[in-house]
Amino acid sequence: MISNSESFYRFPSPAKINLFLHIVGQRSDGYHQLQTVFQFIDHSDTIDIKIIRGDKVELLTPIEGVNNEDNLIVKAAILLQKNILEKSTASIDLTLGAHIKVTKVLPMGGGLGGGSSNAATVLLALNKLWGANLSLTELALLGLELGADVPIFIHGFAAFAEGVGEELTPISPKEYWYLVSKPDVSISTASVFTSKDLTRNTPKVNLNGDIAMLDIDLCHNDCQTLVIKQYPEVAKLLAWLVEYAPSRMTGTGACVFTCFSSQQEALTLQAKLPKGVHSFVARGLNKSPLSSVIAQLQLND
C-alpha cells in the first residue's frame, strides 16, 4: 500500500535470496563472473521519501557505522539527480531534492541484498517522484554503478543471472516458504570476494537457451565452502538446520535459508532454533512487491 502521510511516500525495499551461486570466472577488472538465481522474499526494509524543491538530498535516519555520504541510499539519489541535470535543458530551479527515511529490518552482512535493494528502491521511487521517466534499462545501468545486485531489484522479477549479476533471464522457481536464519555474525561481501581461497572456476551451467533445464537442487553456493571455514557460527548453524530440511547460505552469507512447503512447517522449526540465532519466516516471490507499488503511485497535485 502507498502512504503519503505528511507528504512522505512509502516504499518496500525487499530482500532477495540466491537459490544458488556459482563463480565461473574473474574479469580483468576484478569483478567476478557469476551464475545464480535470484528470488525475492516477502520481507522488506521500508523507505519513506518526501520530495522538496532544490537539490538537497538528506537521509533523516542515519545508519550506525555508516556515513550518510557513503550510504547507497544517498549515493543512488545523487546519481539519479546528476543524470537528470546533465540531460535537462530546463531551469535549475527543479524539484530534485528529497528527505529520505529508512526503517531497517534486513540485517547487514547477511547476504540478503539490503543495501542494493535500498539503492534500487530509491532509484525507482525518485525516478517517478522527480518525473525523470527513465526506463528500467536506464535505471538498471545506473544501478550497476552502485553494485552488481542493484539491477535485479530494479527489474523486479526472479531471474537466472550471469555476467557480474546483471545479465538477467526471467525464471519462475517454486515460491517456497523460507526460514531465514542468521547467527550473530556479519560478513563483508568484499572480504569473501577478495579471498585467495574462494573458488573461481566452477564449470558453467550450459542450458543451451532452455532455462527449463536448470535444476537448482543440483547447484550450490561457491561462497559457502569458504565462509563455513572462516565463520564457525555459520558452519554450526548450517549443520544444525540440514538435519531438519534442505538449507543453503544465500549470497556471501551470513544468512541461511531453509525450504518448506508450508508456512507452519517453517514456523515450527523456527521455534526450535538455538539461542542467539536471529530468524524470520517469509514467502518466496517471483515478482518484487516494489514493482506494483511503483505502478500504482499517484502523485499529489
Note if 184 is an active site residue.
no
Note if 45 is an active site residue.
no
Cβ contacts of residue 118 below 8 Å, gap of 6+? Answer: 13, 45, 47, 71, 72, 73, 76, 102
**Cell digits for 140?**
538498471
Whether the link from the prior residue into 254 is cis, omega within 30° of 0, is yes
**Catalytic, out of 16, 50, 75, 182:** 16
Cα separation, 140 vs 28, in Å, equals: 22
Helices marked H in 134-230 — which ranges?
136-144, 150-155, 189-193, 222-230
Residue from 263, 256, 289, 285 nearest 175 by CA = 285
**Catalytic, out of 45, 48, 149, 222:** 149
Establish how many alpha carbons lie within 13 A of residue 274's alpha carbon, considering only the half-sphere containing its beta carbon. 12
**Cell digits for 105?**
529490518
- Percentages helix, strand, coil for the chain (3-state, rounded to 5) are 35, 30, 40
Instruction: Point out the residues that are catalytic.
Output: 16, 149
